[in-house]
Structure 1
Amino acid sequence: MPLFDTTIRVVYNHLNLTPFGLVSIRNYAARKGTRAKRAKSKVKVEVQKVGFIPHNQRDLASFLASRPKLKFDDSWKQLPLDNVYPHKYYQWTVYPFIEAIQCLKETNHPDMYNQPNANVHVNIDLNMEGEKKNRMHDNFYRIAPIPHKFDHGEERTVMVFTKDVAKQEAARAAGAGMAGGVELIKDIQNGSIMLTDFQHFVAEPTILPELVSLRGLMKRKFPNPNAGTLDDDVTMVVERIVNGVNYSALKDEYEKDFGQVKTVIGNLNMEPHHLEANFISLIKDIHSVKPKREGPFITRCLLWSPPSNEKLKVDHKQYLDIKETKKLKRQQSGNEVSDEVQEAVVQ
């Protein structure tokens, strides 16, 4: 090879250049469609703008993982051996109801919190699973009858519809704000009496055909045997509404199979046995709406009395008689109401 060509080749290699005479020539082309596929792969990614996300929905998975479970089960823990033990490592102590009330009275004694007339609160955990596991029990609102009334601090207005004059007087004496028959229905239709001034409506079955004309005005408050507001004994219904325990069972936002009832059953200055009777009436009323499935509906009951945050677990299973509860549920569902009344309610 001549020296001149060798010198040029060395210079071009040093400068990373390719002389015209050394250009490589290919006699083949790229595969068909390669450039088209490459062009399609270079798609511009559009960034979507995300609006405001509430704090309770941000990173929901990590939130639920760090959130403690509301369904309480300490059956896997061992029982305490003495009276002094770390509470979180052992099962909760189950108190008899009377003993739990005595503990609350000692806590609210004048020498301690000085609240001897404090309210007795009860927290009741529920298993909201329905007849099918993938379907949960709906939230429900009820008023449980109690044998020993107390000042619950609520004003509940009741209107009673009955043709019997004696029942009208008895209903007023029980606490009804207004009671009447067909003439009361006509006054409501004329606009002289406003239904918005009353929270609850009670009626006896015999006046139901005339009362159907007000169904559009009452809507969900229309007397119904399932709600216990359509009954022959209107006085008993009025007493239950005025003096009973008002409670609501609400499902958790995330744990749909967990529900809880929070209400008051009395005051600490009441007799412990009276408080126990109110508690029994409450849990029986809750158990009466249990779905038709195996397993417990009420899972745990806690008593507490502010300002103390101490909660005492009580045994509720001993008060639940399944046969008696089913009988109570049939009575509340209105099985004693005639078929004609049932058809009028449906229509």
Structure 2
Amino acid sequence: KKEEVKKKQGRRRPLMSKPVDDVYLTWYYKRPSYDVENAVGMLKKFQELDFTYPKQFVYINVFLDMELQKKKKVDPFANTILLPYRFSDETNKVLVFTEDEQEAEIARENGAAVVGGVELVKWILEDEIQADFYVAVPAIIPKLLPLRSKLKRKYPSTKRNSLGHDIPKMLQLFREGLEYVVEDEHIIKTRIARLDMPTEQITANLKAVIHDICTFKPASYGPFVQKLVIRSSTSEGLMLNLDGILPEVEKAEEEKNAEDDGGGEEKHVQPPVST
């Protein structure tokens, strides 16, 4: 029986590139990829044809290559960024740790939901006070150590730009910013815009997220983003062509590595992904 299965698998035809007719069996063909502008235009057309909500969210699924070298991998990460174009009037609830009254007043003026010092630690540990994000000034951080295991990745740190002296800047980032998180060790799923926004703005937000993600892995280890899919709340996912989306720094690094390896090799191109 095993031999029969192997024979059947061996006779499977290679995937074809493009179908000739409008109706076809999808598993016989490579999944098509689109330039981001064309893909956004298709999502807008789907919405019109289906009479769905015009202001629905636009999402991306980013599939990452987390491999480094010698069995090492990029640790799953999270980050918060300010997008070029906001798509929601909602703001996050941010708590500010400081014991300086002048800093506390600045925090309140800039929209902090909760402001306080070490007295907040007990209430946070007991879940009496909760926030979407926590930021702090350096002077108080030694007193916040009991919260490290409680807050985990939301514990104030310079790495995540939640520990510093510029309270207005930190508050703007975490009140208005978009947070994305690596799930299942190699996938990021996040919303980036609303479908009724101009295509240029949706594209700019998408590129901002991708460029930020690419900072978490050195370009010398090869392309970080392996596959990128865009969709709206009610549409199917469309795979995007990565050309023109990945940061130029990554491309320049790849070219430099090719030259160092002999100069005659072709530039590495993302392999097509098929279903």
Alignment match, 2:272: none
Distance 1:271 1:139 in 2: 32
Alignment match, 2:95: 159
Larger radius of gyration: 1
Deviation at 1:232, TM superposition (A): 3.6
Structure with greater contact order relative to length (CA < 8 Å, sep ≥ 6): 2
RMSD: 3.3
1:293-341 Cα offsets, whole Å, 9 max, x none, are: 52211111111113232x212234423335499xxxxxxxxxxxxxxxx
Distance 1:138 1:225 in 2: 17
Alignment match, 2:35: 96
Aligned residues: 232
What SS is found at the alignment partner of 2:92? Answer: coil
- For 1:304, the aligned partner's letter is R
The equivalences for 1:219-298 within 5 A come to 219=149, 220=152, 221-251=154-184, 259-290=186-217, 294-298=221-225
The equivalences for 1:27-66 within 5 A come to none
1:39-94 Cα offsets, whole Å, 9 max, x none, are: xxxxxxxxxxxxxxxxxxxxxxxxxxxxxxxxxxxxx8554386847444444333
Deviation at 1:159, TM superposition (A): 1.4
Instruction: Name which of 192, 199, 202 aligns with 2:135.
Output: 202
Unaligned runs of 5+ residues in structure 1 are 1-75, 253-258, 326-347
Alignment match, 2:76: 139
Alignment match, 2:120: 188
Distance 1:230-1:105 versus aligned 2 partners, 3 A rule: same
Distance 1:98-1:233 versus aligned 2 partners, 3 A rule: farther
Deviation at 1:227, TM superposition (A): 2.0
Distance 1:84 1:165 in 2: 68
Equivalent residues of 1:113, 1:307 under 8 A apart: no
Instruction: Name which of 43, 46, 50 aligns with 1:112.
Output: 50
Deviation at 1:157, TM superposition (A): 2.4
Equivalent residues of 2:223, 2:250 under 8 A apart: no
Distance 1:166 1:270 in 2: 40
The equivalences for 1:122-133 within 5 A come to 122-132=60-70
TM-score normalised to the size of structure 1? 0.57
Percent same amino acid among aligned pairs? 26
Deviation at 1:185, TM superposition (A): 1.8
Deviates more, 1:238-247 or 1:299-308: 238-247
Deviation at 1:264, TM superposition (A): 0.8
Unaligned runs of 5+ residues in structure 2 are 1-13, 252-275
Distance 1:278 1:130 in 2: 28
